[in-house]
Amino acid sequence: MPRLTRHYEHWPADVPRTLPTPQRTLYSHLAADAAETPDRIAIDYYGGQTSYLALNQAVVNLAGYLQQRLGVARGDRVLLMMQNCTQFVIGYYAILRANAVVVTISPMSTAEEIAYFVADSGGRVMIIMQDMLDSVLPLLADKRLAGCVVGAYCEMAGRPENVPFMQIPDFVLEPRRQPVSDAEHDFATALAAGIRPTAMACGGSDLAVIAYTSGTTGKPKGAMLSHRAWVTIMAQRALWLGDPSGRSDLIVLPMGHIAGMGGMNQAIYQARTMIMLARWDASAVPELIERHRINRWVAVTPMLVDLMARPELAAHDISSLKRLYGGAIAMPEAVAREVKERLGVPFIECYGMTETCGATHLNPPQATRLQCAGIPQIDVDARVIDPESGAELGPNQHGEIIMNAPIQFDGYWNKPDATREAFLEIEGRRFFRTGDIGYYDEDGFFYITDRLKRMINAAGMKVWPTEIENLLFKHPAVREACVISAYDERRGETVKALIVLKETARGCLTPDELIDWAREQMAVYKIPRLVEFVDSLPKTVAGKVLWRVLQEEQNQRDRKHR
């Protein structure tokens, strides 16, 4: 089957369909920013400002310290774990400047998970903040880690008087604690040492980042992302969105996750100012947009739902916001319409994965569609196949989405079997199997149905939880929804919905009433037979609902009652 091209009819004006493959490193963009716009503010962190010149100097100094004091060499893996902060950006780019590889770890990781990441990556050095140090002290004590650079958020953050309109988290204001281990190296002291690193030796094909992604089963796998892949996606996105350099970005997604990391790298690629928060704070966002004339924001659905509920929103001038985009979590149609009406800009939905450095599909800015992943972007060859036979499918036929793109990963670190399973060959090229079920329409726009492993088989009928969740969001009382499967003696599996109600609806709606409403919205086999109201749903740091956790809890309950 020839490459899908029908989406070219909806291609953004003046955007090329292909780009030359760059051979630059990610760090090269920061070096250029420091030379060309040295006085521009790179980061505003609770009022604490860092220019591009100062940011680059800190990166260079820390890179030299990593090499000369901690023995970091080319290709070594260095672990990075902290909340969003100026030090994260310095640590990330310093590792790259030291010719090493960044291994990002979620700040929500447990001690056991951290130990796994250290062992699997083979990293011997870590950069961390003091609020997370307790989790790694055992690794320092038994020499699994040779050294740890430890910082305090307060050293580069502003003070309460700088941002009187918002509450700075306590951990950001906490003074630097005294070291408790000889293996600790103070972050500020490392910068002050002024040690120059050796020459930059890496190129575009070198490994830049190992980003761990949890699959449906088994231990997390480290996706190997090259400098070339990262630089390519930055170039693609800059052209696709058409946003100018020199403006400001709101960075609230966790930078240890691929989406927040992409926002950080994109800002530096375009020499923009990052207005950064350690944690999501909906009440502060309207003031931040007005005060800093924020122009672009990468967001996820729960954040926008929170913002729409804030009374502060109507009192602020948010006209500077010209670009709002994101993915990862389905955007209910009702929320998307409210966002466009109240913020004045459409939400540009996109689709991508850790294994592709972020978005492979985006809606064209001039022709956005609701609840749509968009069209394959520059140099992305995306197709849909039957997941069992591998046969390629046509328009409106549901199957597994596969793709070949210059932004895709090189494989999983130390997992050759998983790497082989992740790819298939078509016409001599490697296509990545996403594990996502979806389809494309007659115009070439892609729609994501669900994860291949998440399908519910209700009496032989296929049910996709994401579809049901989107329909449940239409009910005016529903704030959040997660659909899982539950054991049913007659049907094998049945549909169960875990629902978080809006504050105003609590006590005013029963599960049976919601089920009755659902009968008017969806086919009978899709209707949730079980509805449970809950106070909250567990989420990742990126805001994704942890449906696997909820499914396993349900499975355990079902096993007890069979």
Instruction: Report yes or no: 399 and 387 within 8 Å, Cβ to Cβ.
Output: yes
68-72, 101-105, 216-220, 302-306: the lowest-pLDDT one:
216-220
Q: What is the CATH number of the domain that holds 464?
A: 3.30.300.30
Mean pLDDT of 334-358: 93
Band (115; pLDDT cuts 50, 70, 90): very high
**DSSP string spanning 152-216?**
-GGGTS--GGG-TTSPPPHHHHPPPPPP-STTEEEHHHHHHT-PPPPPP---TTSEEEEEEE--S
Mean pLDDT of 378-397: 94
Mean pLDDT of 101-106: 95
Mean pLDDT of 377-385: 96
| DSSP character at residue 32 | H
Task: Name the most confidently modeled range: 2-11, 224-233, 331-340, 542-551.
Answer: 224-233
Residue 529 in any domain: the answer is yes
Residue 425 in any domain: the answer is no
Band (216; pLDDT cuts 50, 70, 90): very low
Q: Output the six-digit token pair for 97.
A: 């400047």
Mean pLDDT of 126-155: 96
154 has a pLDDT exceeding 60: yes
**pLDDT at site 327:** 83
Mean pLDDT of 84-104: 98
Residue in the structure block whose two tokens are 């962190």: 45
Instruction: Report yes or no: 177 and 130 within 8 Å, Cβ to Cβ.
Output: yes
Residue in the structure block whose two tokens are 């036929």: 397
Domain limits for position 471: 455-561
178-192, 384-398, 464-478: the lowest-pLDDT one:
464-478
Asked whether the CA dihedral 466, 224, 121, 543 is positive or negative, the reply is: negative
Instruction: Report yes or no: 472 and 481 within 8 Å, Cβ to Cβ.
Output: yes
Mean pLDDT of 523-546: 86
Band (214; pLDDT cuts 50, 70, 90): low
Band (217; pLDDT cuts 50, 70, 90): very low
93-102, 116-125, 523-532: the lowest-pLDDT one:
523-532
Residue 543 in any domain: the answer is yes
Taking phi over 0 as left and psi of -120 to 50 as alpha, with beta for the rest, 96 belongs to alpha
Q: Bridge partners of 437?
A: 400, 450
Residue 512 in any domain: the answer is yes
Residue 507 in any domain: the answer is yes
**pLDDT at site 91:** 98
**pLDDT at site 238:** 95
Cα torsion 192, 63, 102, 188 to 10°: value is 0
**pLDDT at site 332:** 78
Counting the structural domains of the chain, the total is 1
Band (544; pLDDT cuts 50, 70, 90): confident
- Distance between CA 335 and CA 344 in Å, rounded? 13
Instruction: Report yes or no: 118 and 144 within 8 Å, Cβ to Cβ.
Output: yes
**pLDDT at site 260:** 94
417 has a pLDDT exceeding 50: yes
Instruction: Report yes or no: 33 and 40 within 8 Å, Cβ to Cβ.
Output: yes
3-state secondary structure of 247: coil
Residue 330 in any domain: the answer is no
Predicted confidence (pLDDT) per residue in 269-279, tens digit: 999 999 999 99
Residue 556 in any domain: the answer is yes
**pLDDT at site 11:** 96
Mean pLDDT of 79-94: 98
Q: Which amino acid is at 12?
A: P
Q: Output the six-digit token pair for 542.
A: 């990126």
Predicted confidence (pLDDT) per residue in 329-339, tens digit: 667 788 889 99
Residue 182 in any domain: the answer is no
168-182, 390-404, 541-555: the lowest-pLDDT one:
541-555
Q: Bridge partners of 478?
A: 501
410 has a pLDDT exceeding 80: yes
Instruction: Report yes or no: 84 and 37 within 8 Å, Cβ to Cβ.
Output: no
